[in-house]
Structure 1
Amino acid sequence: MKNLCWMLLGASLLTACSPAAKMEISGTLNGIESDTLLVNHRSVDGGEARLDTVPMLNGQFAFNVGDSVLKQVYIYAKPSGNGAVSMKALGLVLLPGRPVTVSGTLDDYRLSGDAFYEACNELNEQLRPCITKLDSLSKVCMQMEVDGIPADSIRLAYAPSREFLNRMQDLRCDFIRSHADQDVAVYALSRDLSVEKIGEMLDVVAEPVRTGVMAPLYRQVKDGYDKEMARRAAAERVKEGNAAPEFTLKDLKGNDFTLSSLRGKYVVLDFWGSWCGWCIKGVPDMKKAYAKHKAKVEFVGIDCRDTEEKWRKAVEEHDMPWLHVRNEGDPDVSVLYAVRGYPTKIVISPEGVILKVVVGEDPEFYTYLDGLLK
């Protein structure tokens, strides 16, 4: 029966790769011990990420990722047993209606099937020497850590990486300039460029490319850039001693909650998410602090980057008794408050002044709150 299953799988792979039944992504990958791939994919213009498993036979695979929209796809080898997923990943942008064929290994591969994918190869090949150097440095430094070498020495050994990282930035920018009228320019724009370089390159990409098939990815990059610029500006305002920015968000009952409605009370804004491990780990301590101080302070949980369903489920599951609102991103209150890490807790005075900002699940927050409200 097992052999019959493999025969059927082989037949399905051959059929999937035939012109009559072309799959969106297919090919052959070498150097993978597993017989199964993990495929993480997400529509560029929104939606939750999906994780699918894809069988392999003699290194061959073929599959569809569903909706015919622009997608970001990452392919990993499924670990055997209880092993951790390898950090090696094959990443690509899948254009709607343009199947791609993959060949090589997870960290050294080629794409074919469309001029766009061939152009992606060109960029990857230009970057490969720097990536190889960085990988070598990382391996050396990891071994130094295993050998108990002091951290200062490890940092010194890794210092040359800055040269290669800067070189990669320059290569990507040069590539965008030379391919400004091609879809691949947006692909290059979305791949590990610094915020400063993105700002320089946004207007280099030709207008027809910005508004064509790559428009969702271009908007994603530009929105990220705009948010970072807004966050940097907010960081200058959101400082201890300054007025807390006003905002209005929906609570669990669908009613509007406005920060100024709590004027006259101490307030703790807790930026969190159900996906944030440290946020969830900190819930028991938050509940203790709330029980101790709820007569003098209002806690406001501001959920970020969750679906409404996950938000509601987390509040109920972890029995968090304080006020909860959801940051849907329009406006993005996490940007308004220059939030860069989760959880972030901000203590506000009865007069609406920021008293304390604590990033991460840090005992400092509870010590400060106890001292403030004693």
Structure 2
Amino acid sequence: MKTINASNENGARVIFKSILLFSLLLLFLFPIKSFAANSIVSGRIKGLTNDTLFISLSAFDSNGKAVYESLISDTLVMKEGWFSFEIENDYFTSVNIIPAGGTAKISRSGIFSAYLSDFIELFVDKGEKITVDANYDGKVIQYTLKGSPLVEMYSDYRNQLFEYQRKRFDALKEIAKLREAKEPIIEGQSMLKAAMDPIRRITSDFIENNLNSPITPHLIYTNYYNDTEAIVAYSIKLGREALESPLAFEYKRYLNYAQNSDKYKREAKIKEDAFRALNGKTAPDFSLRTIDGKELRLSSLKGRYLVLKFWGSWCGWCLESMPKLLEYHQKYRNNIVVVAIACSDKEDKWRNTVSKFKMEEFINVFDIDNSVSKQYNITEYPTYVLITPEGTAEPIDGYDIFKRLDQIFGKEVVEFL
């Protein structure tokens, strides 16, 4: 049978329809020779029949070089709403399937602009077989993916959005109609806000609840592309599995750019200098709710040594050091009070972690909007601030807090191992 190939200088190809029988015989006769394990993407799109689909592929080699030079890798024509194609390369690949007759706009140069609901997005690794069950109603393409834990998790997330993406479509249409009629667009803007707020909330909740998922860096990159502060802030929250995922490539590239930009360096130095400048000054006062719902004002604890620990249930280093802090709290229980300040957290996760690590002997407070973290110019976690009985602050890095407590109270220094 005839095959339709789209090739580039790296030899990556998208092969539509089927593989020649001769190729299958070669694989059978010469099993020792290394061949690329083809991935298969197939499925149907209800609402479309013999429409053309644009296929966009994105992959990077081990050196970070793009495997595909053009954004649109090839096209295919569906048959009665069904399609199937194969991807032959050795790389994890992001795939976008864009109906030519849909709402996505594609320029002659191959660049397309669209909302996420205007096309099908999926991810495929070497040898995987991904199936798509989609429906296009003229507003959004709603779809379910099967074939790997990664695409199924992504599919579950996307399926939470479709209801609000339809409302966004209606809102944008209403705004366009009002503008054409030269009438106020307030009603349309209200409709758009009612659609966008749940979309942002669902995405934010997914990110916060899946900080170690391979999908999460991709969602952070695509949703916070213009928010350098958020891109950098998430870098200390993401787990190892997330950061080592192929989907983290573009996020890490942008993160590197952000962290090395002159603006970021200036802002980071300003915050670091402000944090260090606390040394010897009166600790800023604040008021937060404790885990049992009481109001805590920092100044009410004056007269004893205080250890403020800025931490989060999402922070691996914070949790690793928690047993040591509990040990030191017992060691110097007559001398210090530990105030554990949870930052950038979810309340249920915070409460569960306090219980899991048996932190009830601390004063546990929740910095729900990070106002105290910002007040103290905290940029890394965990971070400690030691406060004297007179209310004077001493910023301390990481595990140095344990040595400092031993120095103050004249006990033998215990190294953290």
TM, length-normalised to structure 2: 0.44
Instruction: Give the number of the structure whose alpha-carbon radius of gyration is greater.
Output: 2
Structure with larger RCO (C-alpha < 8 A, sep 6+): 1
Structure (1 or 2) with the greater helix fraction: 1
